């Protein structure tokens, strides 16, 4: 096992930012390199997956992922959150499927196999429109809920989307069932470490809570992580008394460009809130589900990165074909001309990504 590296917070921050934004020539290369991209349905001003990919894929436009997905080597599923992943990672997520299905589940699965693919509305005539309580406390059609459960079990895959709605098919035979639960958990742990970079062992384990049934005892899950340390695949890093584990070679660059970025709330750079607070010295939270009267920064306030500093946030909306962006700051706004120009360039890029014309934006500093 390699020795424990010590880093000051400034060097750590530079490495985090420098390593967070690899640039890929196209979506296929991006997914192969990133392995997983978190998805979220809120569009403000675009979905999270699009906002994250625009920072990493050359000439990326909002909606490209959904449009290209059917022809890509890609799957949808749940890692630490729901998102798009490589087929290799999905095999670890998927496992061997549930051994027992109830009558409705078996009937729905047979129907999808018979039709080749199925939109949730396709099931209405055969299975009716009876409702059940969904995961969020609301109502969903029972057949739609079964489709989601079969997908979670790895017995269906998402082959495409229609206006954001999943269309399912029965996947081809997979070797995923040959992987032991420990091997599957190890694969998921490594993928999560790859996505986030340096992070605490506790964060890694907690983020994979959705898959804790693979190894029921926390002790077993920690043993897998410790095994990766012993092999030298994950190494330990201490930043001002806080211990992190990381795939070290992926995070050695410290060259930070002089540019501004408006980030998705779920961007891997900012999603680990404890790391965020240590590195940038303030608390950021996603407020879309916070009552309006209690919001401090906005419904979909997006972190604003300037060089290697997250110094505030941006709220953006499109009205009548025009992008409106308002900025907020934790401390004082930078006064140098370079900052203003960098933010204007970022807002121009955001407008083009949204399919708006050049200059179709307003910016409130």
Nearest one of 47, 99, 43 to 69, comparing CA atoms: 47
Read off the pLDDT of residues 296-307 as tens digits, 9 standing for 90 and up. Answer: 999 999 999 999
Tell me, what's the pLDDT at 131? 55
Could you tell me how many residues make up the chain? 365
Backbone angles phi, psi at 255, to 5 degrees: -85, 115
pLDDT of residue 133: 57
What are the beta bridge partners of residue 345? none
From 260, 70, 77, 229, select the one nearest 161 (Cα to Cα): 70
Burial class (CB in 10 A: 0-12, 13-18, 19+), 272: buried
- For residue 327, give the nearest of 338, 343, 348 by alpha carbon: 343
Residue 67 phi, psi dihedral angles, 5° rounding: -70, -40
The residue whose two tokens read 């390593």 is 19
The closest alpha carbon to 63, from 181, 200, 163, belongs to: 163
**CB-CB contact of 224 with 204 (8 Å):** no
Angle ∠(283,334,363) on CA atoms, nearest 5: 85
Spans of the chain, pLDDT less than 70: 1-2, 96-99, 129-140, 174-177
In this prediction, residue 136 carries a pLDDT of 42
Complete domains list, the chain, with CATH:
99-169 (1.10.10.10), 260-364 (no CATH)
Q: Would you state the pLDDT for residue 178? A: 78
pLDDT given for residue 100 in this prediction: 86
Q: What is the pTM of this model?
A: 0.93
Residue 150 to residues 2, 126, 133, 158, Cα–Cα distance (Å): 42, 17, 17, 11
**H/E/C letters for each residue in the chain?**
CCCCEEECHHHHHHHHHHHHCCCECCHHHHHHHHCEEECCCCCCCCCHHHHHHHCCECCCCCCHHHHHHHHCCCEEEECCCEEEECHHHHHHHHCCCCCCCCHHHHHHHHHHHHHCCECHHHHHHHHCCCEEECCCCCEEEHHHHHHHHHHHCCCCEEEEEECCEEEEECCCCCCHHHCCHHHHHHHHHHHHHHHHCCECHHHHHHHCHHHHHHCCCHHHHHHHHHHHHHCCCCEEEEECCEEEEECHHHHCCCCCCCCEEECCCCCHHHHCHHHHHHHHCCCCCCCCCCCHHHCCCCCCCEEEEECCEEEEEEEEEEECCEEEEEEEECCCCCCCHHHHHHHHHHHHHHHHHCCCCCCCEEEEC
Q: What's phi and psi for 309, nearest 5 deg?
A: -120, 125
How far the first Cα of the chain sits from its last, in Å, is 49
């Amino acid at each position: 096992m390699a020795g424990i590296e010590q880093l000051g917070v400034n060097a750590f921050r530079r490495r985090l930012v420098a390593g967070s934004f690899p640039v890929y020539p196209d979506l296929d290369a991006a997914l192969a390199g990133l392995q997983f991209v978190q998805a979220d349905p809120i569009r403000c001003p675009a979905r999270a997956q699009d906002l994250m990919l625009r920072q990493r894929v050359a000439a990326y436009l909002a909606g490209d992922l959904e449009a290209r997905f059917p022809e890509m080597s890609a799957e949808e599923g749940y890692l630490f959150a729901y998102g798009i992943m490589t087929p290799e990672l999905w095999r670890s997520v998927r496992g061997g499927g549930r051994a027992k299905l109830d009558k409705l589940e078996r009937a729905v699965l047979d129907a999808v196999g018979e039709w080749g693919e199925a939109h949730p509305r396709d099931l209405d005539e055969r299975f009716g429109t009876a409702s059940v309580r969904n995961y969020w406390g609301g109502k969903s059609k029972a057949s739609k809920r079964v489709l989601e459960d079969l997908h979670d079990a790895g017995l269906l895959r998402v082959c495409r989307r229609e206006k954001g709605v999943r269309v399912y098919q029965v996947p081809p035979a997979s070797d995923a069932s040959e992987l032991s639960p420990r091997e599957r958990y190890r694969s998921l742990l490594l993928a999560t470490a790859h996505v986030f970079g340096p992070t605490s062992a506790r964060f890694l384990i907690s983020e994979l809570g959705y898959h804790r049934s693979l190894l029921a005892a926390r002790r077993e899950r920690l043993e897998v992580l410790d095994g990766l340390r012993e092999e030298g695949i994950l190494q330990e890093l201490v930043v001002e008394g806080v211990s992190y584990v990381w795939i070290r070679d992926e995070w050695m660059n410290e060259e930070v460009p002089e540019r501004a970025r408006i980030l998705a709330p779920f961007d891997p750079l900012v999603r680990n809130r404890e790391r965020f607070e240590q590195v940038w010295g303030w608390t950021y939270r996603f407020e879309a589900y916070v009552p309006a009267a209690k919001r401090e920064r906005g419904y979909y306030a997006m972190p604003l990165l300037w060089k290697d500093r997250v110094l505030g946030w941006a709220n953006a909306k499109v009205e009548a074909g025009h992008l409106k962006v308002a900025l907020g700051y934790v401390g004082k706004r930078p006064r140098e001309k370079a900052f203003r120009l960098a933010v204007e360039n970022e807002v121009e890029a955001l407008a083009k990504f949204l399919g708006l014309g050049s200059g179709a934006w307003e910016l409130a500093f």
